Chain A
């Protein structure tokens, strides 16, 4: 272990003042700018979720009106999907660690990277404006013709916000792909790259190729709303189902924008805390690409009941089953990595193990939904809600928190109290399951989503779910407290507190502005844990 002294100069104290942050082109500082922004949005989205769960504590719609409830779940979805989950791991940890992990001094386009943050904030402010001036009630999916003809809420402003935010993820994705292609240090071949980078690469491909389709679709909705152009309007012969095709052409791959980065984090953490190289490295690497490619071919499974030919539905069903294969490859390979590893259960590892469990449940219930008959039964019920929360909260957010805890010492130079970290991970895991497992049952029993009232026989399970949500909220609150605490009082981390492999652990914590004094030369594959220990 290196000497545990705080480095004298590093990226955080290289310059001072607000201007040095707002005009920075340092990928690490931009990562922190994103961290600050998305943390605020996460709290906002969480408040909406809390209000939803509070309303659903009792069968009648007594806390908020039906209109308000529509706005609550819409804004919960918009904020969490577009302003937290999509940027989360790529914009924070990707920004911070993609250049460091390949041995580069910065991303290929540092100014574009800063622009990406400003675009994100501009879009975010538009959406916030839509929220404070009355909200949106279309659901995060903006389905036409409701969004274009009927809704009297702030659809335009929110749509403009999401349109703008899209360009932020496009530019970030573009930056990552170019960086990984052109800026790898000598010896850092493709198959020596940490799997987190493969995940970032695959995610970025989706960002670059899917996001523009969402942008143009939202643009068409805006035109239709503002100028009564009729691209999706049945009165002109337009087809609302075309909107759904275009929307899900983005929004299914968007699920992989959220989950692939989390899978990348899990690969890093599992290797580091079981002191083994990832079993079947190439399979895990290529499964990221396979998920990115197959993810583009399955969007129709969101529309089995929206009017689709039987054969179309069958093809989308089969393809949706196929996309489960590369996901399963990852889960099996992680499990095989754990086998006979010297495992230590520190905080990041608990999150990673939690991810594997919850993602597996989310993935398997996805197969129920990809089956045509079952899907018809549970479409638009809480079964679907539970399924995608297992993926997006149980998967993506567990991965996000795991990564944050894994790299926090590197980003800040300080350790957090590991005991509290473990407590929070366990509390989050239990609270999560208590929140969402009952929703599988509710959905299967027939409780539809997006209603603020329900028959009394569903109350018991809803009370469980709301109780779970409170526990989960505490699980998120604890890290917020000790991570902030650690900034000042945490023990000094040193270069490599976990004894992990990877270029990021060979430089000081926090790293200097240009990461490396000298361009590193890579001589061994990623996760060469066995060779060191022998």
Chain B
């Protein structure tokens, strides 16, 4: 693992303080997993708050949840799952050194991410028109309207943070696309693609939990 650095052949991607690409790769992957652990607890605070209030105020949360557009939410879920597929294919293309495929799948992932954000924007607009955004003339018809404020506060905090992560993800994908275009990756070294993939899948998984919690939680009635 730690041979003398000068003994190994010159590697343009190898940073000076690592001994070899394997060590560098291992460090980057572990770093990303730890970062995702941080992210998990970051969202965890809001999930905890949501669960607590959902148990305390099931009627209000149900009524508020039913005002969300389940069709748009479901379409968005599909879009995001598909983008996870294209991301996985991009990582595969990087590993097999197919540069054109890699760029195509990265672009597809970005398009799907943008579609998701567009649909989310439409949903936010509906909520704005319906005066369901706390702090912007909030009104709600139904049981205990002030508690609906709680639901929508959490809805916007959670989906907003998720959307912010999507936007950052699009930024990362742009950088990856440029790096791929410049031919920076090879079958031997494509760590940035792999860790970007981890990040993207994580953001998708957060949505996989958000969708049932926010949209589906009261649909059985």
Contact = CB atoms under 8 A, between A and B. Distances in A.
Interface of A: 104-110, 170, 174-175, 177-179, 181-183, 185-186, 208-213, 215-217, 219-220, 223-224, 226-231, 235-239, 242, 246, 514, 518-519
B129 interface: no
B2 interface: yes
A229 B156 contact: yes
Nearest to B153: A229
A223 B41 CA distance: 19
Interface of B: 1-2, 4, 15-19, 23, 26-27, 30-31, 34-35, 37-39, 41-46, 48-49, 52-53, 56-57, 60, 134-135, 144, 146-147, 149-150, 153-154, 156-157
Contacts of A177: 30, 34
Nearest to B148: A236
B153 A230 contact: yes
**Interface SS of chain A:** helix
B38 A212 contact: yes
Given A174-B35, A216-B42, A220-B46, A231 B157 contact: yes
B135 A185 contact: no
A104 B147 contact: no
14 contacts: A109-B27, A179-B27, A185-B2, A186-B1, A209-B37, A212-B41, A224-B153, A229-B157, A230-B149, A235-B146, A237-B144, A237-B146, A239-B52, A242-B49
Given A174-B35, A182-B27, A237-B57, A519 B4 contact: yes
B146 A236 contact: yes
A253 to B, nearest CB: 11
A208 B46 CA distance: 17
Most B CB within 10 A of own CB, among A104, A175, A212, A514: A212
Contacts of A186: 1-2
Contacts of B56: 237
How would you classify the secondary structure of chain B's contact residues: helix, strand, loop or mixed? helix
A104 B15 CA distance: 13
A494 to B, nearest CB: 26
A366 B39 CA distance: 32
A107 B31 CA distance: 12
A252 to B, nearest CB: 15
A231 B52 CA distance: 11
Given A174-B38, A178-B27, A229 B46 contact: no
Nearest to B3: A519
A504 B61 CA distance: 59
Contact of A208 (B2, B34, B60, B135): B34
Given A108-B17, A178-B34, A219-B157, 9 more contacts: A107-B17, A174-B34, A177-B34, A178-B31, A220-B157, A227-B134, A230-B150, A231-B154, A237-B146
A174 B45 contact: no
In the complex, the 8 A-B pairs of residues with the closest C-beta atoms, listed nearest first: A227-B135, A229-B153, A216-B45, A212-B42, A106-B17, A237-B147, A105-B17, A108-B27
A290 B68 CA distance: 45
A102 to B, nearest CB: 11
Contacts of B26: 181-182
Contacts of B37: 208-209
Nearest to A27: B17
A211 B153 contact: no
A246 to B, nearest CB: 5
Contact of A237 (B35, B42, B46, B150): B150
B31 A174 contact: yes
Nearest to A212: B42
A231 B31 contact: no
Contact of A109 (B31, B60, B134, B157): B31
Contacts of A217: 45
Given A228-B135, A237-B57, A182 B42 contact: no
A518 B147 CA distance: 65
Nearest to A187: B2
B151 to A, nearest CB: 9
A182 B53 CA distance: 42
A216 B57 CA distance: 22
A246 B44 CA distance: 10
B150 A181 contact: no
A216 B154 contact: no
Contacts of A208: 34, 37-38
A11 B153 CA distance: 51
